[in-house]
Structure 1
Amino acid sequence: MCVEEYIPLRITELCEKRGYTKYRLSQLTEMSQTALGNILNKKSMPTVVTLERICDAFGITLAQFFAEDGGRLNLTEDQNEILEIWDNLESKEREILMTFIRSLKK
């Protein structure tokens, strides 16, 4: 699949996975809904900077964006489950979870 087709499909997949609407993604990326719509409708290609903003909104790296398995190699089933749960959390929930995890290290 070429990158022109992959990028909009991947963004759509991540939105569905996170329950984001185009409006929500535009808020998180500080992009207009029109600009996002143009990317999703294959009318324009995002720059690397724009793609980084989109990845930040999803809490992933560019490498994870382009990795077919989300960039999770050689992880145990439990580690994959934890990351799946993490992927579906909102930013505030992630902060709470990180606070809890850090408290376990002490």
Structure 2
Amino acid sequence: MCVEEYIPLRIKELCKKRGYTKYRLAQITGMTQTALGNILNQKSLPTIVNLERICDAFGITLAQFFTDDGSKLNLTQDQQEILDIWDDLESKEREILIGFIRSLKK
């Protein structure tokens, strides 16, 4: 599959997983719905900056975006479970969890 096909399919997959609409993704990324629509309809490719914004909206890295199986290398089963749970959290829940984890470290 070429990158022109992969990027919109991956964005759609991540939107479905998170329950995001194109409108919601546009709000989170600061991109216009038209720009996102053009990417999703394969009329344009996102810039690296916009692709980073999209990845940030999903809480993933660029490397994770382009990893077909979503695997995270060299992780224990517990670490993988934590990341799987993290992937299903909303941004506010992630903020709370980060605060909790930081409080444990002190």
- Root-mean-square deviation (CA), in Å? 1.3
Q: Which runs of 5+ in 1 are unaligned?
A: none
Q: Which runs of 4+ in 1 moved over 3 A?
A: none
Contact kept? 1:39, 1:46, Cα under 8 Å = yes
Q: Which residue identity does 2:22 align to in structure 1?
A: K
Q: Which residue identity does 2:58 align to in structure 1?
A: F
Q: CA deviation at 1:69?
A: 3.1
In the alignment, the residues of structure 2 paired with residue 79 and residue 9 of structure 1 have an alpha-carbon distance, to the nearest angstrom, of 27
In the alignment, the residues of structure 1 paired with residue 49 and residue 14 of structure 2 have an alpha-carbon distance, to the nearest angstrom, of 18
In the alignment, the residues of structure 2 paired with residue 91 and residue 3 of structure 1 have an alpha-carbon distance, to the nearest angstrom, of 28
Question: What TM-score does the superposition give when structure 2 sets the normalisation length?
Answer: 0.92
In the alignment, the residues of structure 1 paired with residue 97 and residue 20 of structure 2 have an alpha-carbon distance, to the nearest angstrom, of 21
Q: 1:49 to 1:71 in 2, by over 3 A?
A: farther
Q: CA deviation at 1:55?
A: 0.9
Equivalent residue number for residue 97 of structure 2: 97
Identity of aligned pairs, percent?
81
In the alignment, the residues of structure 1 paired with residue 25 and residue 2 of structure 2 have an alpha-carbon distance, to the nearest angstrom, of 23
Q: CA deviation at 1:34?
A: 1.4
In the alignment, the residues of structure 2 paired with residue 14 and residue 26 of structure 1 have an alpha-carbon distance, to the nearest angstrom, of 14
Equivalent residue number for residue 12 of structure 1: 12
Matching of residues 49-68 of structure 1 within 5 Å: 49-68=49-68
Secondary structure of 2:36's aligned partner: helix
Aligned length: 106
Equivalent residue number for residue 86 of structure 1: 86
Equivalent residue number for residue 32 of structure 2: 32
Secondary structure of 1:63's aligned partner: helix
Q: CA deviation at 1:76?
A: 2.0
Contact kept? 1:15, 1:21, Cα under 8 Å = yes
Question: 1:16-56: per-residue Cα shift (whole Å, max 9, x none)?
Answer: 11111111000001111111111111111111111111111
Q: Which runs of 5+ in 2 are unaligned?
A: none
